[in-house]
């Protein structure tokens, strides 16, 4: 081959991973250590209150504390009022800041990471194979006419229905080719990314793991695979992929997963190999090849910069699903507050009869003690005047009967 006159690379296009959910945004708003500290403080406060108030009443108080419910009574001392006022002002400031950041976090869409490098493709280390008629099949052709067919110089054997095809003209290269691929050849959901592309790109891939997941497909079928499956990747030249999806917002082009050099392949005994190599080398060293590449892709890069600038300048569309989660949180808070209020009512009704009975018992005990004391006084007064004692004893007797 001649001296390298340029460089290129292989890239893959995949579907964009989408956006981060609002629930994950809420969890990621605070660090995991903060969540752990809040959980530990909640548990400690619950156990401390449970020793003095009982588990049910302490649980209701903790729910009131977490939902920012009202307090029982206002502070009475001046120091408590000053402390409560300062804490209330501090809470209002912090609450405004937190709500502002939380609203911006929920309304701004956050994109999930897409496939960018070869390591991202290898991270989903799951291979898929489809076995058909006892041998490995990379593609199927729907056909209702059994027999031998020839398309585009490739000869393959088909049976009625879906059959596996194998090239016979390139047995030494072991290339499997298909012109029309059916949908049921997709890998199962949850498996790793499967790479589709031309049969020539399979020979260019150097990574054995990526080659094990490569499937031969047509030019249009490769892109259709990516549009239909979230675990499919279309392999092609980086510059060609860029021009192919420049106006598509669904697909994403990765970085170079493999660096290639562009050379001219010749015979070893070609008499013009040395002078052509010398001319190509001088052209590359002078920068003519790089200048030609930049001039040929200048319009493409200008269009890309224009789109990027317009995307930054324009406002992002705010959709209902971006703000709907806030109303879900509000409804959840109101439901928890209503549940805490209902629990307080139930607990209060259960505790109120017991307090009424205990107060009634205490009242009866105090009446009995007062009657006993009055009886002692009657005995002492009866020893002094018998006539008064009889009248007093009769009145006390009536009073005792009425009390009983």
pLDDT band at 49 (very low <50, low <70, confident <90, very high): confident
Over its C-alpha atoms, the chain yields an Rg (Å, rounded) of 42
**pLDDT tens, residue by residue, 346-362:** 877 776 555 445 555 55
Question: Looking at 201-326, which runs of residues are DSSP E strands?
Answer: 214-216, 232-237, 251-253, 258-262
CATH architecture of 1-18+111-124+191-289: 3-Layer(aba) Sandwich (3.40)
The pLDDT of residue 229: 81
The pLDDT of residue 366: 62
- Mean pLDDT: which of 131-140, 157-166, 178-187, 240-249 is highest? 240-249
Query: How far does CA 320 lie from the centroid of its chain?
Result: 18
If you average pLDDT over residues 232-248, what whole number do you get?
77
Percentage of the chain beyond pLDDT 90 is 0
- 8 Å CB contact between 5 and 262: yes
CA distance 125 to 109: 29
Lowest-confidence segment of 210-219, 327-336, 367-376 by average pLDDT: 367-376
In the chain, where the domains are located: 1-18+111-124+191-289, 24-107
CA distance 403 to 127: 92
pLDDT over threshold 70, residue 216? yes
**pLDDT tens, residue by residue, 92-128:** 787 777 777 767 666 666 677 777 778 777 776 543 3
Beta carbons within 8 Å of 27's beta carbon, 6+ residues apart: 35
Backbone angles phi, psi at 363, to 5 degrees: -65, -40
pLDDT over threshold 70, residue 79? yes
pLDDT over threshold 80, residue 37? yes
The pLDDT of residue 115: 79
Strand, coil or helix: what is 103?
helix
- Mean pLDDT: which of 48-57, 99-108, 146-155, 317-326 is highest? 48-57
Lowest-confidence segment of 30-39, 104-113, 234-243 by average pLDDT: 104-113
Backbone angles phi, psi at 119, to 5 degrees: -65, -35
Nearest to 133 by CA among 162, 154, 153, 94: 162
The pLDDT of residue 149: 40
């Amino acid at each position: 081959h001649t001296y390298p006159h340029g460089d290129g690379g292989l890239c893959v296009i995949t579907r964009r991973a989408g956006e981060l959910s609002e629930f994950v945004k809420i969890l990621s708003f605070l660090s995991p250590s903060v969540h752990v500290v809040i959980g530990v403080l909640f548990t400690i406060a619950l156990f401390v209150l449970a020793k003095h108030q009982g588990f049910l009443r302490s649980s209701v108080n903790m729910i009131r504390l977490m939902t920012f419910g009202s307090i029982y009574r206002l502070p009475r001392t001046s120091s408590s009022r000053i402390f409560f006022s300062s804490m209330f002002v501090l809470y209002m400031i912090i609450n405004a800041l937190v709500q502002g950041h939380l609203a911006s976090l929920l309304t701004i869409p956050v994109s999930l990471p897409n496939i960018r490098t070869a390591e991202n493709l290898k991270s989903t280390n799951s291979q898929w194979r489809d076995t058909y008629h006892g041998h490995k099949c990379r593609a199927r052709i729907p056909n209702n006419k059994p027999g031998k067919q020839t398309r585009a110089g490739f000869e393959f054997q088909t049976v009625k229905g879906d059959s596996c095809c194998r090239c016979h003209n390139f047995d030494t290269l072991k290339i499997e080719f298909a012109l029309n691929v059916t949908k049921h050849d997709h890998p199962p959901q949850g498996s790793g990314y499967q790479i589709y592309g031309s049969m020539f790109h399979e020979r260019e891939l150097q990574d054995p793991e990526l080659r094990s997941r490569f499937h031969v497909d047509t030019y249009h079928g490769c892109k259709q695979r990516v549009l239909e499956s979230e675990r499919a990747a279309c392999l092609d030249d980086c510059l060609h992929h860029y021009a192919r999806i420049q106006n598509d917002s669904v697909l994403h082009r990765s970085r170079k997963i493999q660096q290639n050099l562009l050379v001219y392949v010749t015979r070893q005994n070609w008499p013009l190999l040395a002078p052509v190599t010398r001319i190509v080398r001088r052209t590359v060293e002078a920068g003519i090849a790089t200048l030609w590449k930049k001039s040929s892709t200048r319009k493409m890069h200008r269009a890309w910069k224009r789109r990027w600038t317009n995307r930054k300048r324009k406002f992002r569309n705010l959709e209902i699903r971006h703000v709907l989660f806030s109303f879900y949180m509000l409804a959840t808070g109101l439901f928890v507050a209503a549940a805490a209020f209902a629990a307080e009512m139930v607990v209060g009704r259960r505790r109120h009869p017991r307090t009424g009975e205990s107060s009634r018992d205490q009242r009866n005990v105090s009446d009995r003690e007062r009657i006993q004391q009055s009886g002692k006084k009657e005995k002492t007064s009866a020893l002094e005047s018998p006539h008064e004692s009889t009248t007093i004893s009769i009145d006390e007797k009536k009073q005792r009967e009425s009390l009983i």
